[in-house]
Chains A and B, each alone.
Chain A
Amino acid sequence: MSVQSGPQWKARSEMKVLNTDVPRVDGPAKVSGRAKYAHDIRLPGMLHARLLLCPHPAADVELLNVEPAKRIAGVVTAAELADRPDRTIFLGQPLAVVAAETPEAAEDGLRAIEVRYREGGWAVTPEQAAAEDAPRISRRQPNALTERETGNQGRTERALEGADATIDETYVVPVQHHCCLETHGMVVDFDGERARVWPSTQAVTGSRGEVAQALGIPADRVEIVCDYMGGGFGSKFSIGPEGLAACQLATELRRPIHLMLTRTDEFLMGGNRSGGRQRMRAGASLDGKLVALDAEVWRHGGIGRGSNPGQPYIYKAETDSMRIGSVRTNTDANRAMRAPGHPQASFAIESAMDELAYAIGMDPLDFRMRNLEDPVYHRQLNRVADEIGWYDHPNRETPGIPTGGTNVGIGFGVSTWGGGGRRVCVVTVRIDPDGSVTSSAGSQDLGTGVRTYVGSIVAEELGLAVSQVTGRVGHSEYGPANASGGSTTTASLAPAVKDAAHNARVAFSERLAEWLECGPGDVVFANGEVRSGTNERMKLTWSEACSILGSDPIVATGEWQSHLQTSGIHGAQAVKVEVDTETGGLRLVKMVCIQDCGLPLNRMALRSQINGGMIEAIGYGLFEERIIDPWLGVALNANFDDYKLPGSTEMPELVAIIDDDDERQQVIGMAEATIIPGQSAIANAVANACGVRIRSLPLTADKVLMGIQEKA
């Protein structure tokens, strides 16, 4: 390859670093506790801040007097939030903030605030909100509003009448939480002129502008640092009311402010994955075609819109129609949560597909393939079916019936996602005379391994070991970068890293050509050496080569290159579950996920992301659900005792397969796709095991057991 040509990814067979297993470079710092997250930042003179949240779903704030808080020992100030409303519209809406020398004093300060609410009419469940006499949640629109209609419902009705088998079922998904182990918030150090800010964020670049606006200073005086962040999952794109409150305090006090949400605050105001209700009327022909689907899709996103990409999602129906809308409630707005809307859509369509397959006595795997046009899914479904043991499984065309003992079932689901990038990132690669190499990007590592590939792409380019290149991320001074959402980071950032690495190599080649007595295009970087491609005796060790730079290091930048990335991915999952038909208890035995992703940058990180996707789906499938008492308007499980996340003993054997049949030589972001179908596959496996179809998540033992009782 000539150095004059633009950057190209090497053939996979030639790669020494990329497409191999590279342990994440910050792993040791994270597991040893040396990694400093926003929560861990401690500065001289720093104050701890807490927010006062409205305990009612909606209320008029008749009185709010922060003065008593200021009299609490250790409290430095208490203030109403700059934009606090007179009337609150969601449970947990923040109203005031207290700053104190200790977190405990801040808590005491909150409790001393004098506040009187007049509870207004409210609705916390979609049923309450949709009732005729329900209080209006938004002035702009009715609580339940159909926003979009697709297809011709009349035609679908007629097609349904002609179908050999039909179902008419409603599938319900609860509101789930992101459960970031690091709650939302930031530390702000503002001296009146300049600010250094440590947010827990998915958007270092975006935070800079938001903070600058909040502090009323130009963005070039704001430095954002996010070396490590403890989970975002789509909930941390904005600095939020908590960030604005921290900036408000920092402006008033000119002391460093540490404002991180408490766990309860996090549950109430830190965002959520919208719930939903989907009525699916679907029909199939005996030869296994999905001949008609009419879907009525309601999103439950609190005061937000909720998300759902619509039906029939990935599948193809001969005739389909849909009405999609939202039901608003007095709870906080949903936010993006990994693969926004897709897991919800998946649960309804994958359940319906299974129900239809059994209704016509067809293997649900075959039924899926007949209604999936893209051959990649056929390949992937066959692979996971093989891996999970489907072809040796007894209940292939008919679900089992409760035996009184343990029943085993298998279920499937598929996923899709974009994962392409866009032009934002500027990356800098620097080669110093002492041999050190840095690769710097103002991106953030949400835990996906970004810091590792920011270095390893450069190591591959320069023929170095991963340990010889320092990847630096999480700092606004490192240049603009995209917000990490929608699995767009890899496809937005990796091409810019590659471009910078390529430019650095070209620049270095030009400097070395004379020493190696060859043309710049003949300089070869490999195995920690630099040599002439035309005379193999002409070579330099890496440190010899760098020493030639004298006092003039190589500094090269790189930008996004469209041709180095693409979009469009596929995945398939299979689950094997044991149902204790006496108790309704479920034990996941095995879960398999295959995922394509274009060119794999780091196989270990990819498998880790795939495992993470399956684990998130296990939580969604088996346990997670926000519960608010509909009569009292009180959050009942805004804590990690009652909001149950899966633990180590809930984990099945997890099999993560990178789909190496995908030969595209471009990078694609893929993590979110792996979250989409797991819970659907679990529900299908339970139905396959014992014939009990649970149409609402999570699949808790009480539901399964009552289903078994009804069958008996």
Chain B
Amino acid sequence: MLLPATLEEAVTALDKESTEPANEQKTRILAGGQDLLPELKDHLAEPETVVNVKGVAELGTDVRRSGDGFEIGALATIAALARNADVPAVLSEAAASIASPQVRTLATVAGNLCQRPRCWYYRSEHTVCLKKGGDECFAYAGLNKYNAILGGGPSYIVHPSDLAPALVALDAEVVTDRRTIAIGDFFTLPSESDPTRENVLGPDEIIREVAFTVAPGWRSVYVKFKERESFDFALSAVALALRLDGDEIAEARLVLGGVAPTPWRCRSTEELLRGRKIDDALAHEAGEDALGGAEPLEFNGYKIPLTKALIAKALRKLS
């Protein structure tokens, strides 16, 4: 394990030539360790070198107000975000919904965005699925209750992050050691790029911070449905941000979690919401529109009515 003191040292320590499936990379970044350590214990990841970035000077641990927005250090903990009363509600609520108090105290914001999928076929040591460089997504024709209904194929994972949909709803940017990426461009669909990865980060690229601006008049909410409330990933989640003009929706950002391989932005539904008042009819229309393209697998059809219900709940909470 290496303990670099600067971002440059950390980047240099990572293998930039890596072409292996993501879980087989020979160098891996360790921060809060809440995803990497379980991967190591389960032998999903067996890196030769672990680069511990906790001591890297440029990586902040703060949630800072900056001008009309916020800058969140890569090493800020989920707990810090969950208890921050200034950030938009969608973000603190998403943070508070994650895992357990113990995990939130150690897990970092950047780690949460980069965590690997929870699909049980991926997590089993005894399968080599598409996510691990194999030929087949076993979930597609397997036990897929927890898998994708939107954007699936050839892999049907759902992105496990709760912060991701919230940050998409805030139109955030991910700042790395070398570039700034609009969060909408950060996550990748398995059909559009290397299916063993979930984002555009290079093998030696390190997230430095996440930033977003907060325009006046916006309100937001995160509604997450967990099978087990005390500690779980989302079966489905809705991140909704609205700018209201009186009781009319002037602008909307609607992002789904737990249903697609990326946070799933519903642009047509956002258009549909614009200029409308929140009522039951609109909630119904929004749900129909957002899930219109859903293609359920054998065991996850329930996610369609569930997600529609969560959209309706989110709209009601902001009305």
Contacts and interface: CB of A to CB of B under 8 A. Distances in A.
Interface of A: 55, 111, 582-585, 622-623, 627, 629, 631-632, 634-637, 639, 641-642, 644, 646-650, 700-702, 705-706, 709
B227 A623 contact: yes
B229 A650 contact: yes
A632 B227 contact: no
Contacts of B309: 582-583
B87 interface: no
B44 to A, nearest CB: 12
Contacts of A111: 43
B302 A706 contact: yes
Interface stretch (B4-12, B51-59, B117-125, B148-156): B117-125
Contacts of A584: 302, 306
B235 A701 contact: yes
Contacts of B301: 706
Nearest to B142: A629
A410 B127 CA distance: 43
Contacts of B310: 583
B26 interface: no
Nearest to A630: B143
Contacts of A639: 123
B305 A634 contact: no
Given A632-B126, A644-B227, 15 more contacts: A55-B126, A583-B306, A632-B138, A636-B143, A642-B123, A647-B228, A647-B229, A647-B231, A650-B230, A701-B225, A702-B299, A705-B302, A706-B301, A706-B302, A709-B305
Interface in B133-159: 138, 141-143, 145
B232 interface: yes
A635 B225 CA distance: 25
B225 A585 contact: yes
B48 to A, nearest CB: 15
A701 B313 CA distance: 17
B312 interface: yes
Interface residues of B, number: 31
Contacts of A636: 120-121, 124, 143
B104 to A, nearest CB: 14
Contacts of A622: 228
A634 B228 contact: no
A198 to B, nearest CB: 25
A697 B302 CA distance: 17
5 contacts: A648-B230, A701-B302, A702-B299, A702-B300, A709-B305
B288 to A, nearest CB: 14
A242 B315 CA distance: 55
Contacts of B312: 582
A17 to B, nearest CB: 37
Given A111-B43, A636-B143, A700 B227 contact: yes
A701 B227 contact: yes
Given A629-B138, A641-B118, A634 B124 contact: yes
Among A583, A636, A642, the one with the most B-chain Cβ atoms within 10 Å of its Cβ is A583
B120 A647 contact: no
B15 to A, nearest CB: 23
A456 B226 CA distance: 45
A111 B41 CA distance: 13
Contact of A646 (B120, B230, B302): B230
A583 B231 CA distance: 18
Contacts of A649: 229-230
A634 B225 contact: no
Contacts of A635: 124
A639 B42 CA distance: 11
A627 B305 contact: no
Nearest to A637: B120
Contacts of A583: 225, 306, 309-310
B126 A702 contact: no
